[in-house]
Amino acid sequence: MGVDIIKKAILVLLFVLLSAVMIGCIAEEKTAANQTTGENITKTYDGKKILYIDSYHEGYEWSDGITKGVESALDGTRIELKIHRMDTKRNDTAEFGKLAALKAKSVIEDFKPDVVIVSDDPAFKYLLMPYYRDASLPFVFCAINWDASIYGAPYNNTAGMIEVSMTPRLIDFLKEYSKGDRVGFMAGNTTTDWKNAEYYKKLFNISFTS
């Protein structure tokens, strides 16, 4: 596993721990320190279920890194984990995103998780925002690019962290080798990449031409 994937996995461990708090996996009654054991703590997880909804697909390095982090964090906890993938990286139209969200919603209704983890913008935009905003079901999000307020967040039932790229540092690095102020930028035609381009212009005054 590369350094970037390891970092992603560590972040996910934090999200899963937050999920545990939100669904009451950590006992509210405090036990004396000398009476607390790993077995007692693990028992509080019995019967709990977490659903991880990946915006993308298995085999995509980013998604695989998050998946490994989730699975590693939950190993041995007795929490039942289910993973559902929306596949919006390979199918990036709004129509597909909306249909994928309906399928994910059906999975939620059938699985009845105690908490849902969603990663990346499509799951937030097409699933969480229209169907679970301020709902009773808690959601933990990760890898939302730049700003979640464009989706009306924060909600009463959400917690998580946005993702911000180190664009200014990258530009400073490229300037050392560039002969001018024009730099090529290649990206996919996806929700995330268009959002990145919007924020590059908004925050760093970077203009794009095609």
* Dist. CA 37–CA 42, nearest whole Å: 9
Q: What tokens were used for 143?
A: 């890898």
pLDDT of residue 32: 44
Single-letter amino acid code for the residue at 105: K
Q: Which residues of 101-120 are buried (b: 16+ CB within 10 A; e: fewer)?
A: beebbebbeeeebbbbbbbb
Q: What tokens were used for 179?
A: 């002969």
DSSP helix/strand/coil, 162: strand
* Dist. CA 142–CA 47, nearest whole Å: 24
Query: What is the chain's pLDDT, residue by residue, as a tens digit (210 residues)?
Result: 444 554 455 456 556 655 655 556 544 544 444 444 555 555 667 888 999 999 999 999 989 988 988 888 888 888 899 999 999 999 989 999 999 999 999 999 999 999 999 999 999 999 999 999 999 999 999 888 888 898 999 999 998 888 777 777 777 787 788 777 777 777 777 777 777 777 777 777 777 776
Region class of 205: left (phi > 0), else alpha (psi between -120 and 50), else beta: left
Q: What is the pTM of this model?
A: 0.73
Residue ranges with strand state E in the chain: 49-54, 80-85, 115-119, 139-145, 158-163
* Dist. CA 150–CA 153, nearest whole Å: 7
What does 169-194 look like in DSSP terms, one character per residue?
HHHHHHHTT-SSS-------SSHHHH
* Dist. CA 190–CA 88, nearest whole Å: 8
Set out the domains of the chain in order of their start, with CATH numbers: 3-163 (3.40.50.2300), 167-204 (no CATH)
